[in-house]
Structures are given as C-alpha cells and as structure tokens.
C-alpha cells in the first residue's frame, strides 16, 4: 500500500466516510446540509467530521460542482477605511464559500471610462459582480453589466430596482436617529453636510435629517446644508462654508466620517472646541472616527457584514439549486447602531445666542 501521489497529510471525504461507516456521498450530503439524511446517520457523520477535523477541499468542490468561482468587486476609493472593512468582509465570505475575489478599481467618474472599465472587467470572466458604493449607483456600469448578462449585487443603494439584489441599512432611519440625538442634546441650529449627489443613500440621509427636524418643529428648509462628496477634501470646503455663515450652527452632522473628521479639523483651525463650541457627528464608524480627537459620535454601518451578505446573496442567486429555502430573497437590510463618543455634547450657553460675533480666524 504505497502512499498516494501527493502524500499531504490532509484528511479527505473518503477518510470521513470510512470512519463513519457510510459512503462518501452521504458525507457530502451532510456537509452541504441536504435534507434527506436520517438523523442518526447525520450525527454519526458529524462526529467523524469533528473527530478527524475534516474540512473539505474547496478546489475539488468547485471543480466537481462546476460552481461559480470568480466574483468581481468593482470599486472606487472614496474612503480607504470603508474599503478596507469592505474587503475584509468580502474576503471572509469568499473564503467560506470557496470562491475567488477579483478586484478592479474604477476611479474615474466619466461614464465612458466606467463603461470601458466594466467591459474589461467582465471580459476577464467573472461570474458575478459586487458593487459597493459609490459605484452601486452608476448607470453606465449597470448598463454594461446588464448587456453582458452578468449578475450584480449592489451595496447601500438607496433605491433598489425591483428584482435586483441589494444590501443596505436604513439610511433614512439612521440619519433621523442621529438628528434626534442632537436635538435631544438641545441643538436647534444643526448644519448638515450632504454626501455625493449621485448617491441615493445621500438623499436618504438628507431626508432622514430633515424629517427629524420637522418632527421637532424646526423648518427643515431653513437648515444650513452644504454639499459634500464623501471625501475629506470636500468636507473641508463644506465645513468652512457652514462655519462662515452668520448664523453659525452649534452642531454639524456630516454624511460620513471622513467629512466629519475634516469638520473637526476646520473647527480647530477656527479656534472652536469640539464638542464645547461645536458638536460634530459622522456616519459609518470607519477608522477616521476614532483617529481624530475627539473621537466621533457616528452611525456604525456593519460594513464587513454587509460585504459578506452581498457575497452570500450573489452566490445564492448564482447557485440556485442549493438549500433553496432562502431563494427569492432580493434585499437584505442590516441593523445600524448609534455610537455615541466624545464629539457631541449639549451646546454651550453662549453658543445659543444667535449671530454672536466670533473671533476672526487664528
């Protein structure tokens, strides 16, 4: 009995089958959670699996099943922190599912270049594509993908098409909750920095903000709102504009952490203390939220979990036969969490007095 060709000490499905006294097929069924296995058999197999510490060979599995193996991830890079968390989540999901992640950057905002990048990407032979924000909203990309009949799952797209796959949190609700937090602290003049205008989640967050104001009897139309683009740089500009207004806000709600961090920076440059003179809150709970000082009150989006959920959704649609209990699920709305840190506090007494002249810039 000579050793097999590649005598690596790995335990195979055959070993498990022999140990459990069943056929390899039955082990395979247990591993894949198929229904028609008697409970006693399943338990015996499971015990053998545990005892031998068996884990299936993903290469053999995808080869035999002819499964989709290459999932594309087309990304732009507005925030490194967000992307990192997203990648980590997606990779964890890919490892579990035994599929490969194929990355492609698409930095440009030009429709032609986006379409071109998408075409090259699809050519490379991916079985499905994950579209994190902000690309999830790009029309040229969706058009190109549809033309190639490549399945897509979008992440954080505010207004999903019916029948298309989407993973998101309730941006409207989250923004309203955050706004209520500021209102409860006693703020009445709350500035808002919008996210990228092409991004429907931006709209949802803005709507949530305004709805909460209205709820509190404040005219949302008169609220100080500036446009941002989710980048640190755009946050600097928007914060400058908000703080240059005659009626200076006592709190600023930025649509993501990068812009909130920029707002903190501008406040410091202007000699304002956060949160004593100005509360600043963000959205996403990415790294900048905890690297700036003071640490930001923000909304935690479970970015990694969303990436995993997106991958699962896509794979489920790509492999229709498997445990079909959850087929027909097209959307997955995950829970957010309000994270209260040090950058939000009640407004100071003098800050409440409107139009008080402030020191000129340092």
The interface partner of residue 26, options being a copy of itself, DNA, none and the CB cut-off 5 to 8 Å by kind, is: DNA
The interface partner of residue 102, options being DNA, a copy of itself, none and the CB cut-off 5 to 8 Å by kind, is: a copy of itself
The interface partner of residue 38, options being a copy of itself, DNA, none and the CB cut-off 5 to 8 Å by kind, is: DNA
Euclidean distance between CA atoms 200 and 78, whole angstroms: 16
6 in contact with DNA (CB under 7 A)? yes
Which residues are within 8 A (CB) of 139 and not within 5 positions of it... i.e. 6 or more apart? 111
> In the block, which residue shows the tokens 């794979």?
315
Only one of the segments 91-99, 151-159, 186-194, 331-339 lies at the binding site for a copy of itself (rule: CB under 8 A); that segment is: 91-99
The interface partner of residue 292, options being a copy of itself, DNA, none and the CB cut-off 5 to 8 Å by kind, is: a copy of itself
Of 134, 148, 125, 123, the closest CA to residue 74 belongs to 134
Of 101, 139, 136, 137, the closest CA to residue 121 belongs to 101
Task: Single out the residue of 1, 19, 32, 137 in contact with DNA (rule: CB under 7 A).
Answer: 32
Task: Single out the residue of 33, 125, 186, 354 in contact with a copy of itself (rule: CB under 8 A).
Answer: 125
User: Per residue in 87-124, is it b (16+ CB within 10 Å) or e — as a string?
Assistant: bebbbebbeebbbebbebebeeeeeeebbebbeebbee
Only one of the segments 56-64, 105-113, 171-179, 262-270 lies at the binding site for DNA (rule: CB under 7 A); that segment is: 56-64
Phi, psi of 157 (to 5 degrees): -90, 125
256 in contact with DNA (CB under 7 A)? no
Task: Single out the residue of 69, 114, 250, 298 in contact with a copy of itself (rule: CB under 8 A).
Answer: 69
37 in contact with DNA (CB under 7 A)? yes
84 in contact with a copy of itself (CB under 8 A)? yes
The helix-helix angle for 139-147 and 111-123 (nearest 10°) equals 30
Of 115, 213, 198, 105, the closest CA to residue 158 belongs to 198
Q: Computed from CA positions of residues 6, 8, 12, 17, in that sequence, does the dihedral angle turn out positive or negative?
A: positive
69 in contact with DNA (CB under 7 A)? no
The interface partner of residue 14, options being a copy of itself, DNA, none and the CB cut-off 5 to 8 Å by kind, is: DNA
Only one of the segments 6-14, 109-117, 247-255, 305-313 lies at the binding site for DNA (rule: CB under 7 A); that segment is: 6-14
33 phi-psi bin (left φ>0, alpha ψ -120 to 50, beta other): left
271 in contact with a copy of itself (CB under 8 A)? yes
Only one of the segments 50-58, 114-122, 177-185, 346-354 lies at the binding site for a copy of itself (rule: CB under 8 A); that segment is: 50-58
* Closest distance of CB 208 from DNA, Å: 43
The interface partner of residue 201, options being a copy of itself, DNA, none and the CB cut-off 5 to 8 Å by kind, is: none
The interface partner of residue 301, options being a copy of itself, DNA, none and the CB cut-off 5 to 8 Å by kind, is: none
Do 77 and 107 meet the contact criterion of CB atoms below 8 Å apart? yes
354 in contact with a copy of itself (CB under 8 A)? no
* Closest distance of CB 328 from a copy of itself, Å: 24
Total interface residues for DNA by CB under 7 A: 36
Q: Which of residues 203-242 bind a copy of itself (CB under 8 A)?
A: 231-233, 236
109 in contact with a copy of itself (CB under 8 A)? no
Only one of the segments 16-24, 95-103, 167-175, 331-339 lies at the binding site for a copy of itself (rule: CB under 8 A); that segment is: 95-103
Binding region for DNA (CB under 7 A): 4-6, 8, 10, 12-14, 21-29, 31-32, 35-38, 40-42, 54, 56-57, 60-61, 63-66, 321
């Amino acid at each position: 009995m000579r050793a097999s060709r590649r005598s690596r000490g790995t335990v195979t499905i055959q070993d498990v089958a022999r140990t459990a006294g069943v056929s390899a097929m039955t082990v395979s069924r247990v591993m894949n959670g198929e229904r028609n296995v008697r409970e006693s058999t399943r338990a015996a197999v499971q015990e053998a699996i545990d005892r031998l510490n068996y884990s299936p060979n993903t290469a053999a599995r995808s080869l035999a099943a002819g499964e989709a193996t290459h999932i594309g991830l087309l990304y732009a890079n507005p925030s490194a922190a967000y992307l990192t968390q997203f990648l980590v989540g997606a990779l964890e999901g890919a490892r579990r599912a035994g599929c490969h992640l194929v990355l492609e950057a698409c930095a440009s905002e030009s429709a032609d270049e986006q379409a071109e990048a998408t075409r090259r990407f699809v050519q490379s032979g991916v079985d499905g594509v994950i579209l994190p924000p902000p690309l999830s909203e790009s029309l040229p990309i969706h058009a190109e993908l549809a033309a190639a009949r490549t399945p897509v799952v979008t992440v954080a797209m505010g207004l999903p098409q019916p029948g298309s796959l989407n993973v998101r949190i309730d941006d409207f609700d989250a923004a309203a909750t955050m706004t209520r937090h500021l209102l409860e602290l006693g703020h009445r003049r709350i500035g808002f920095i919008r996210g990228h205008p092409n991004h429907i989640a931006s709209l949802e967050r803005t709507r949530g903000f305004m709805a909460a104001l209205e709820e509190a009897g404040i005219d949302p139309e008169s609220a100080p709102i500036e446009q941002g683009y989710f980048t640190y740089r755009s946050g600097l500009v928007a914060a400058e504009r908000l703080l240059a207004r005659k009626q200076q806000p006592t709190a600023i709600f930025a649509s993501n952490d990068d812009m909130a961090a920029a707002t903190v920076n501008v406040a410091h440059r202007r000699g304002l203390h956060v949160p004593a003179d100005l509360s600043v809150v963000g959205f996403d709970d990415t790294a900048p939220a905890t690297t700036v000082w003071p640490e930001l009150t923000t909304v935690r989006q479970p970015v990694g979990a969303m990436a995993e959920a997106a991958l699962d959704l896509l794979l489920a649609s790509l492999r229709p036969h498997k445990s079909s209990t959850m087929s027909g699920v097209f959307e997955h709305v995950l829970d957010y969490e309000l994270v209260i840190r040090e950058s939000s506090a009640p407004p100071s007494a003098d800050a409440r007095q409107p139009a008080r002249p402030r020191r000129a810039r340092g």
